[in-house]
Structure formats: structure tokens, C-alpha cells
Structure 1
Amino acid sequence: MDPHLLRSFVAVVERGSFSAAAQALGYTQSAVSQHIAALEADLGTPLLRRRPVGPTEAGERLMEHARPLLLRLEAARADLARLTRVRPARLTLACAPAALTPALADALAGLRRAAPGLAVEVRVLGRDEAVRAVLTGAADLALVTGAAAPSDPLPLPDAGPMTTRAAAEEPLAVLLPASHPLAGRPALRLTDLADARWIDAPDTAVPLAELRAAARSDGFEAQVTYGGTDLRGLGMLVAAGHGLAALAPGVAEGLAGTVAVRVSAPRLVHRTEIVHPRDPDEPVRALVAALTG
């Protein structure tokens, strides 16, 4: 399966248009059409409906494989490039919003004192995007967050040749409006909130799919979807009564009009994990040591 053809297929499905995919990829529309025809001939089945443009059943199945395959190819290229390139005195950190804490700021300050010439770039990204940034070489390490049982790792995307380490754990909490009837409780059972209104904010709070899996419930339906990485924006939506969100109590501090109540069951933690290449550069090793020491 030619990855160039596969990349064209993914672009058409994501944009819903041959012309938009061609513009994004820098091809002509005719070239993209030829790529799709060649891929369909290779696989022996139609992959796209033309009017309106969208995946067939076989195309939907292929999309389940296509993104991970393309990501692993990019990861392989970046992994090999790390063997030979000379790294500038720069550290690029991809950081989930909930991982941008005073502890991280202090660790970065210590790193810069030890290496005064080191330039640091911090990019606030959602969890999956942060992991992809490390895999593809766009970032040197990532700090990602999520909910898990105390002994389980976070459910991350296929990280390929990456190393993950736990950096911090806090109890999991539910963010409620300060006026909510349950706001004064010392703790809450997650299953008791399955039918509540929720905000799906996968780049800022715990994704609702993870809550459903943890609670083994079909509830936790989203009333509002929040695609941002600004915690204050999420806090404003919760305070206004649009829905609940799950995160760490420490993350919720300072979100006006909200209260974070600890989850008592099931037993879950809000974990921060570090993701970095197998053979990290010295600045990465130093920052990992500062965050885990």
C-alpha cells in the first residue's frame, strides 16, 4: 500500500472534498483523483462515495488503519533522523494544559540556570497531539495527563519507540458549578453522575470515553463539546451550568465559580506522564530527572 496514496485518501475523507485535499497536499485535483483510483484498484474495493464525498464502509474501515500507519511512518523517519542530526541548544516541550503546573515551571527554571544558553519552547497541546509531536520530531518530550487506575498507564496513542514515565499523580475530581447541589460533598461516586450533563473536553479534561470505560457505564453523554486547551474557558462553561468535567483538584484551583469534588469510586487517579524518545538529548534527561526526582 503506497503511503502517498493513503495520505491522499485520508486528506479527502478529512476535508470532504477532492479539491480541498489537493490544495492541502499541494497536488492538482486530477492527481488526487488518480491516487484514490489507484488505491481502490490496489485494494479491490471502492473507498469513497463521490456525491457527496465520503467514505464507503470499506473506506471507514481503512481510516481506522490509515492514521496510525501514517503516524508510524513519520515516527520512523523522525527516529532515524535523531541518530545523525546535530541538535541546537533548544528544548521543545509539548504540554497538556493540566500539566502546565508550578512544578514544571520550577523544573524549567532550574534547567535554564544549569544551561544558560538553552532556549525553551513550550507548546500547549491536547494529549494525542502532544504525543504525535514527540513521535514526529516536532517536540523533544511531552507531558500528558489523564485518568487511570493507580497501577495502570495512561491509554496513550500507539507511541512506537518512545519511553513513558509517571511524573505526578493526584486524586481524580469532578468539576461542578459552585451552586451545584453536590458541590458540598467531600467525595462522589462516578457512577452516580453517569446521567448528568457533561462537557466533552478531551484536550483539557479527562475524555468522556475514558470515564465511560472507568465506570463501565454507557452514560457520560456530552451536552457541550469544548475543543480548546484553555482551562479558564472550560471553567467558565462549567460555572455557567453547561456540564461537568473530570480533572485533578490542583488543576481546578482558580477556576472561578466552580468546585472540584474528589471521586471516591471507582479508584482512579489523575496522572501526568512524560513521553520522550528512547535516546533523549541531555536537556530532556535533565528535565525528566527534575520532574521525577
Structure 2
Amino acid sequence: MDPHLLRTYVTVARLASFSAAARALGYTQSAVSQHIAALEQDLGAALLTRRPVAPTPAGERLLEHAEPLLLRLDAARADVVRMAAAPAFGLTLAASATALGARVLAALPPAGVTVRVLARDAVPAAVAAGTADLGLVDGLAAPSDPLRLPDVAPLTTYGVAEEPVRVLLPTAHPLAHRTGLRLGDLADARWLDAPDTGLPLAQLRAANGSHGFRPALRYEGTDVRVLIALVAAGHGLTLLPRTATDTTPGTTAIPLTEPRVVHRTELLHTTTPPDPARTLAKSLSAGS
């Protein structure tokens, strides 16, 4: 299967338009149509309906395979180019919003660093594709257990921090006087769905036996201050690491007592990181 044809197909399917895909890829519309026809002929299956442009069932199945395959190809190319390139003197760190703890920030070099806050699932992809030298990603886990990360490429991972989690709720909430809360008692509460800022609801469901935690409002940003303001305004609860709730006006942060889980942060890099990234990785992993 030709990866160039596959990339064209993914772009058409995402944009639901042959002409928009042609503009995005820098091809003519005729070339895009030829790519799709060649791929369909190669696979012996229709992949797209034309009016409207949408994946067929076979096309949907191909999409499930295509995006990880293309990311793997990008990761392989970036890894080889990185090995052959001249030594880099800057450092780009991709991180999820609540992975940038005080210890990590204190360990950063005094100059030449770019910090890029991304969605959680985008961090491993950025490291694999070479757009970031290092990644920091966080999530909910049992103590000392590794995070479950997308399998985008061979990446080296280190656990660099673990800390308790707290339920953040408005000060007027009926449970605000509690000294501790069990996750199971909150399954039917109003929750904020903030997958890239608060700890994802899917992880809460998994920790609680795969039920409950229906969202009252969805927040798709990466600004923790906005998430906290939404809690203070009464739009729902969220779960955050302890250090993210130290100064939260209008809210109360209560320790989660059951199940026994922690907020875990992991550092990611490829097998051949540039020297500044290698130095920072060693510093953080040595202190974990």
C-alpha cells in the first residue's frame, strides 16, 4: 500500500472534500481523485462515497489503521533524520497542561527552551514525529504503575512524579465540608469533561469499574485556570493533582481517599534524543 496514496485518502476523509484535500496537500483535484482511485483499485474496495464525500464501512476500517501507520512512518523518518542531523542546541518540550510541575520547571535549562502545551494524546505523537525533543504526559494511575500511552513509536519513558489527587468542587457544594471523598460516591455527580486539563473522565470510569461520570459541560482547552473557574461557577466537578488546587478561590479541594490512585507524570523521548534533551531526561529520571 503506497503511503502517499494513504495520506491523500486520510486527508480527503478528514476534510470530506476532494477540493479541500487538494488545497491542503498542494495537489490538483484531479491528482487527488487519481490517488483515491488507485488506492481503491489496490484494495479492491470502495473507500469513499462521492456525494457527500464520506468513508464507506471499508473506508472507516482503513482509517483506523491509516493514522497510526502514517504516524509510525513520520516517527521513523524523524528518528533517522535526527541521528544524521547536526547537534541541536535548543530544546522543545511538549507537555500536557497539568504535567508541568514545579520540579520539572525548575530543572529546565535557563535558555533555549520552547515549552509547548498540547492535548495529552498529542504529546507522544509530537515526540515520535520529531516536532518535540521531549514529552511530559500525565494521568491517573495506581501508585508506581506506568501510564497507558498510545503506541505511536518506540519511546523511552520515565516516571518523574507522583502526587495525590483531589476532587475540586464549589465552596457551596453539599460535600464541601468533607475531609475525604470516595470516587464511587461521586459517580452520579455533575462532572466537567476536560480531557486535556482535568484528569479524563474515562480514567475515572476505569478506576471506578467503568460506569458513571456523565459530563455536564465539556471544556476543550488546556488552561487550568479556566477549568477551575468553571468549577467555581458551579458547572461541575473535576479531579486535579494536589499542586494544581493549592490556590483556587471559590472552590474547595478534598482528598480522594478511595480508590488508591495518584496523579502520575512521565517523561518521553526517542532512542536518540539531542544532547539537551538527554541531559534534562537524566536529571528528571535521577530524581524520580
Measured against the shorter chain, the TM-score band is: over 0.9
Distance of aligned partners of 1:38 and 1:236 in 2 relative to their CA distance in 1, 3 Å threshold: same
Q: Which residue of 1 is the match for residue 28 of structure 2? A: 28
CA drift of 1:260 comes to: 2.3
- For 1:139, the aligned partner's letter is A
Distance of aligned partners of 1:30 and 1:258 in 2 relative to their CA distance in 1, 3 Å threshold: farther
Q: Deviations over 1:71-125 (max 9, x none)?
A: 10000001111211112311111121112222222111xx33xxxxx51111111
Unmatched 5+ stretches in structure 2: none
Distance of aligned partners of 1:53 and 1:178 in 2 relative to their CA distance in 1, 3 Å threshold: farther
Q: Which residue of 1 is the match for residue 201 of structure 2? A: 208
Unmatched 5+ stretches in structure 1: 113-117
Q: Which runs of 4+ in 1 moved over 3 A?
A: none
CA contact (8 A) 2:71 2:152 kept: no
Q: Which of 106, 118, 126 is equivalent to 1:125?
A: 118
* TM-score of the aligned structures, taking structure 2 as reference length: 0.93
Q: Which of 228, 243, 252 is equivalent to 2:245?
A: 252
3-state SS in 2 of match to 1:127: coil
Q: Which residue of 2 is the match for residue 177 of structure 1? A: 170
CA contact (8 A) 2:88 2:275 kept: no
Q: Which residue of 2 is the match for residue 153 of structure 1? A: 146
Q: How many residues align?
A: 286
Once the two structures are superposed, the pairs formed by residues 34-73 of structure 1 within 5 Å of their partners are: 34-73=34-73
CA contact (8 A) 2:96 2:119 kept: yes
Q: Which residue of 2 is the match for residue 219 of structure 1? A: 212
CA drift of 1:252 comes to: 2.2
Q: Which stretch of the first structure deviates more once superposed, 70-79 or 210-219?
A: 210-219
CA drift of 1:236 comes to: 1.4
- For 1:258, the aligned partner's letter is T
- For 1:259, the aligned partner's letter is T
Q: Which stretch of the first structure deviates more once superposed, 1-10 or 276-285?
A: 276-285
CA drift of 1:279 comes to: 2.8
CA contact (8 A) 2:190 2:216 kept: yes
* TM-score of the aligned structures, taking structure 1 as reference length: 0.91
Q: Which residue of 2 is the match for residue 239 of structure 1? A: 232
Q: Deviations over 1:12-48 (max 9, x none)?
A: 2222222222221112222222222222222222222
CA contact (8 A) 1:194 1:217 kept: no
- For 1:22, the aligned partner's letter is A
Name the Cα RMSD after superposition. 1.7
CA contact (8 A) 1:249 1:261 kept: no
CA drift of 1:162 comes to: 1.1
**Matched-pair identity in %:** 59
Once the two structures are superposed, the pairs formed by residues 80-119 of structure 1 within 5 Å of their partners are: 80-108=80-108, 111-112=109-110, 118-119=111-112
CA contact (8 A) 1:163 1:278 kept: yes
1:12 lines up with 2:12 in the alignment: yes
Distance of aligned partners of 1:141 and 1:40 in 2 relative to their CA distance in 1, 3 Å threshold: same
